[in-house]
Structure 1
Amino acid sequence: MRPQDNLYLAINSKWLKQAKIPADGVSTGTFNELSTKVNTELSQDMAAFANGKKPLPNIPNFAKAVDFYKQALDMDQRNRDGAQPIKKDLAELENIKDFADFNTNAAKLFNEMMPLPIGWEVEPDLKNARKNALYFGSAGTILSDATSYQDPNSKKLLDIYQKQSINLLKLAGVPEDEATTYAENAIKFDSKIVQNTKSAEDSAEVTSNYHPMSVKDFEAKFGNFDMAGFLKGAIGKEPDQIIVTDPDFLNNVNGLLNKDNFAEIKGWMIVEFINSVAGDLSQQFIDASAPFAQAETGQKELPSTAKQAFAITNSEYNDLIGEYYGETYFGPAAKKDVTKMVEQILKIYEQRLQKNKWLSKSTRQKAIAKLKAMKVKVGYPGDVSDFYDDIKVVPASQGGSLYANQKAMDIKDTKEMVSELDEPVDRDDWGITGDEVNAFYDSSLNDINIPAAILQAPFYSKKQSEATNLGGIGTVVGHEISHAFDNNGAKFDKYGSLHNWWTKKDHAAFNKRVNAEIKLFDGIKYGGKKVNGKLTVSENIADQGGLSVAIAAAKKDHVSLRELFKNYARIWRIKASPEWTQYLLANDVHSPDALRANVQVQCQPDFYKVFKVKKTDGMWLSPKKRVLIW
């Protein structure tokens, strides 16, 4: 295969033929391989800490993470405990006798981390990014997205989920007839939630999630549910305003939360609970909770106990483990080197904005001001939160369990979240930890996070050429910068607040280009389905901007564009199960990785020059269809 016909396959076909998806995974590829490498290193270190073969790092509270890991690893104890750790909480849900009882106890259930058919988050106010606000949204659905219910396979998946839920409840000691009723009611209530919830495509547009209301108007929407009482009990006060993320759900909330639906609400809460806690219990529970996820993703086997133990520990102690990874496997010297590289890319991005021909001077200056205000976070924070100071890992010998210790942390996390309401936003907070193979832009903080774990080959290495690094981490850094100017990020000012800083003419010109980006990807056939251009547009804009600035950096330093393009195609290699591919197409805001490689380079004039692409070649795209925004 020639790069002129299919760059992605020309670079990755040999790998694709040889690559095998792990039995306990759903895909393999550059990101998966690095994640496996990082998790293996950390798992081995945690095991060495646990058995005393390695001294603990000088990180506050790290010993608690090790104690928690040992508890997660002790499957013998978890098997002996069986369902005992959840008995009290399950009984509390089963003992809710009617809707009035549910109304009275809803705040208590929230504070105890029990499932509720309403969602709450405390996040920066999008129109005042200096202060945190309270967001209200719909409950989650069983299937991944509202559109998934239109798929012919949805009935089969829901049947698997229902059967799985019955089996889990029986393991917990619930009689089969009662378990069956709970599961049937959960499916019925879920079908009502689906009718009043947004799709992933709708949610991808940031302004569709911002509908502020006075608390008085908000509470008036609830004729059956005592929202005023709930807010006082769960939040501690009635805030001045509530930001609604899903207006349709709120407008129809009385049709969901009422005494006629009580049996379905109760069944839904019980089923949500048992499915969410099974992973913290015995191997029998873990096995019984697997069928639905495996059917949805194509996973063939469950991860080993050791892998699961590390994953659970990392989910709860991610700040500590991410800090350890950054200090141990990355270090301050590399952090300084990469920070300098990011700043150089930011400078080139600024130069490109200065030369931009379709923006007016006014808008261009504000875009540059936003770029200059952008904060760069590379590697790892360098310190850890005091969140863990008063956490206690209670051992089994003192009546503790993995479930109980995890629940205690989750309760504390929720209390901390609620306490941040109306408080100033912590602008030093990281949206990602050092051991994650990923990168992140936060529009409310106007910062980019490039964690340590992604800063290795093929993305970045001092042993790689500059061109190869630019095709890897250079495009990633440029991608995150470009999120500040994608269809969502462009709505936020340099302070991170939702505020229009565009002239009317410039905004119209930008939207024309956004629509062209949507059209570029929309309807492309992949994995038996079609790409949703509206769902993926923000990431496609970021990919385009990231590749463009990396190319500009390579041309400035006179390094090989051929090597840049080759590594750009290499970082997107992936092999996934058909089920996982279908899942991503329905839910992921990113386009399929093969298209992220091919379609973006098809829009770059330098690709045609470097590889001498002709009209008769497979990679040729008519100049009229090519899209370049940033």
Structure 2
Amino acid sequence: MRLNHFTSDVSAGGSASAFPVDESKLTQDFYDAVNGKWAEQATIPADHASTGGFMDLVDNIEHTLMADFADLLAGKLAPANPEMAEFKKLYALASDFDRRENDGTAPLKPWLAKIANLKDFADLNAHLVEWYQKGLPVPIDLSVEPDMKDTSRYALYVDAPSLFLPDKTYYAKDNPAAKQLMPIFTQTAVKLLQLAGYAEAEATTIVKQAKDFDAQIAPHVKSAEESADYVKMYNPFPLKDVDAKLANIDLAAAIKGVINDVPEQVILPQPLFFDAANDILTPANFDAIKSWMLVKTVFDASGALTEELRQVGGTYGRALSGQKQARSQKKAAYYLATGTFGQVVGDYYGRKYFGEAAKEDVRQMVLKMTHVYQQRLKTNDWLSADTREKAIVKLQKLTIKVGYPDTIDALYSKFKIDEQASLYDNLQTITETIIANHFGHWGQPVDRKKWEMSANTVNAYYSPSNNEIVFPAAILQAPFYSLQQSSSANYGGIGAVIAHEISHAFDNNGSQFDEFGNIHNWWTEADLAHFKDLAKSMISEFDGIEFAGQKVNGQLTVSENIADAGGLSCALEAAKSSDDVDLRAFFINWGNVWRMKATTEYMQLLLSIDVHAPAKLRANVQVKNLDDFYTTFNVQPGDQMYLAPADRVKIW
């Protein structure tokens, strides 16, 4: 279930520099000049797919919170609130691997039996409401999200299921990655089913059938590139018409059971899947669908059972990313528990390690950046007066969230841990609580105060449907932000991140939403045509660049590249307005924050599915568009970092 369709984040990046800049490379390869010395000595930990970048900050927070929570488990640290007390109980269960071994696969087997005992579609339809309420795999996804054309109310989204491979492009006959990955997926799935009690021959048959069904889905779902166009996800249809496309699934009855209502209209993010549904969801395919459900269920469960299941279950994911080994048991328990109690852990982290004073200081930085952006809009030379006025209104209506929420989401007060039950059973109960809360939004006003990231998350995001920018506490530290850094260095870090998120309000996706977060064209026809031409220039600037043995997809990454360009340009203007301006420090810290060393497998995976360009290219390409970069480092024609003025892409 997708609980958050429409957010744009800043994603992967860097750590503070204690390494010298190679002055000889600044005009040839800016990223290598800033990060090359670091890269020479950097080692990717065996349980990581990358290092440097945001990963250094993630690791630092992990180290800090694991130490604190060890004290919590030992009784040296008292829970700060009732939610934290429940978190402690779950963390203890997740950490008790002896008990997990004793429980074995017994907690999982009743759920596998539910699937195995299904006889036909009539039987599935009789249990379909329960399937949705308990979070069991279903070949049609349901979620309650803000209506993209009226974000004050919720709509019901009806979607296709996810694929086994990372993207539909992997299913193309000429894609070599699938030939490497699918055998590993197959071996992993067969082994998991064997560990769950299936004989090898039966497990092999189940996995083959599951893969057959998965392959039938693939041609009819969107690729990552297609999904990156948010507006094209909004395809309203009468429910009766969608239900009519599903001869063997009683969708309307299931929806009524789940939300206690039958809406006249539903939204299909991937309508082509439903055009093909009657050719896929057939009685002849029912055994394959059951096998698909079994494989999905055993994968989902593997991290909450025995150590062998945890290790085997992660094999496919590690092959995808190039990660050499699984996390330690202690780290696995930490991430399972903190991931489940995200806002509770975020509240603890934000209040202890960020605090109200820093929260207000950064908020003032955000307000300053929005003021700079507003001034740039006022003096924009290619927008008409009408469009410019509406853009400024949208900016003025922008909601700003910094640090951590004022209160913990009430959902977490419903999480009650039964210390006598298994870890798996407790997680299942929490899953059902989350699902009930999610579907309970139906018919209620949209809660715009909700955060989609916990405060201990090293990231930031813009939500078009809320017209809001959110900066969790964890990203608000060096190299992005520190009182020990110069203002110019801070602007090259957190300033660019802040303006990046603001720019998402005016990228190729965000520009199609109004100040209330609704899909609404507020552009004049001529302005929109010109903006699309500028966006094409950004697509061309990145498209086809060789990286990690593959090529960058400029269309997939265009929204993030527009946001990077606008963010860096706006932050540069803010830095120049300071009395202690130091443009060298500004650009060097921009290079620092994109420091990243990753496995080839991980880089290639990101190239296929990530809407962000590779970190090195984010550092190198965007600075070429700024005239001040050339004067700061004396970049001349003939230098590799030189881009002719006519070719420099300037949008915001």
- Place the TM-score, normalised by the shorter chain, in its bin: over 0.9
- What letter is aligned with 1:2? K
| In 2, Cα distance between equivalents of 1:13 and 1:413 | 45
| In 1, Cα distance between equivalents of 2:538 and 2:371 | 25
- What letter is aligned with 1:590? H
- What letter is aligned with 2:305? L
Aligned partner of 2:256 among 216, 232, 240: 232
Deviation at 1:6, TM superposition (A): 1.1
Contact 1:119 1:139 in 2 (8 A): yes
Which shifted more, 216-225 or 63-72? Answer: 216-225
Match of 1:431 in 2: 452
| In 1, Cα distance between equivalents of 2:116 and 2:246 | 24
| In 2, Cα distance between equivalents of 1:295 and 1:238 | 43
Deviations 1:564-583 (A, max 9, x none): 00000110010000100010
Match of 1:413 in 2: 434
Match of 1:592 in 2: 614
| In 2, Cα distance between equivalents of 1:159 and 1:56 | 46
Deviation at 1:67, TM superposition (A): 0.6
Aligned partner of 1:94 among 116, 122, 142: 116
Matched, 1:39 2:65: no
Aligned partner of 1:173 among 197, 211, 232: 197
| In 2, Cα distance between equivalents of 1:526 and 1:519 | 15
Contact 2:121 2:248 in 1 (8 A): no
Contact 2:134 2:435 in 1 (8 A): no
- What letter is aligned with 1:440? Y
SS in 2 for 1:195: helix
Deviations 1:359-394 (A, max 9, x none): 001100110011011011000012112212232211
Match of 1:303 in 2: 327
Moved over 6 A (4+): none
| In 2, Cα distance between equivalents of 1:381 and 1:235 | 28
Match of 1:210 in 2: 234
| In 1, Cα distance between equivalents of 2:134 and 2:283 | 23
| In 1, Cα distance between equivalents of 2:453 and 2:413 | 21
| In 1, Cα distance between equivalents of 2:412 and 2:25 | 54
Deviation at 1:274, TM superposition (A): 0.3
SS in 2 for 1:377: strand
Task: Give the 5 Å matches for 1:487-526.
Answer: 487-526=508-547
Deviations 1:42-65 (A, max 9, x none): 1111111011122222x3411000
Task: Give the 5 Å matches for 1:395-406.
Answer: 395=419, 398=420, 400-406=421-427
| In 2, Cα distance between equivalents of 1:521 and 1:136 | 34
SS in 2 for 1:575: strand
Contact 2:538 2:649 in 1 (8 A): yes
Task: Give the 5 Å matches for 1:199-348.
Answer: 199-348=223-372
Deviation at 1:235, TM superposition (A): 2.8
| In 1, Cα distance between equivalents of 2:356 and 2:537 | 42
- What letter is aligned with 2:205? T
Matched, 1:18 2:41: yes
Matched, 1:442 2:466: no
- What letter is aligned with 1:474? G
Deviation at 1:467, TM superposition (A): 0.5
TM-score norm. by structure 2 comes to: 0.95
- What letter is aligned with 1:35? V
Q: RMSD between aligned alpha carbons?
A: 1.0
Deviation at 1:153, TM superposition (A): 2.6
| In 2, Cα distance between equivalents of 1:258 and 1:229 | 19
Match of 2:11 in 1: none
Contact 2:141 2:160 in 1 (8 A): yes
Q: Percent identity?
A: 44
Deviation at 1:556, TM superposition (A): 1.3
Deviations 1:415-453 (A, max 9, x none): 111111232111111121110000011111111101100
Deviations 1:318-347 (A, max 9, x none): 010001100000000000111011101110
Which shifted more, 130-139 or 478-487? Answer: 130-139
Deviation at 1:539, TM superposition (A): 0.2
| In 1, Cα distance between equivalents of 2:50 and 2:547 | 16
Deviation at 1:199, TM superposition (A): 0.3
Contact 1:431 1:442 in 2 (8 A): no
Deviations 1:263-299 (A, max 9, x none): 1101000001001100000101112212211211101
- 5+ residue gaps in structure 2? 1-23
- What letter is aligned with 1:225? I
Deviation at 1:240, TM superposition (A): 2.1
Match of 1:84 in 2: 106
| In 2, Cα distance between equivalents of 1:18 and 1:359 | 48
Change (3 A) 1:184 1:576: same
| In 1, Cα distance between equivalents of 2:543 and 2:532 | 16
Match of 1:568 in 2: 590
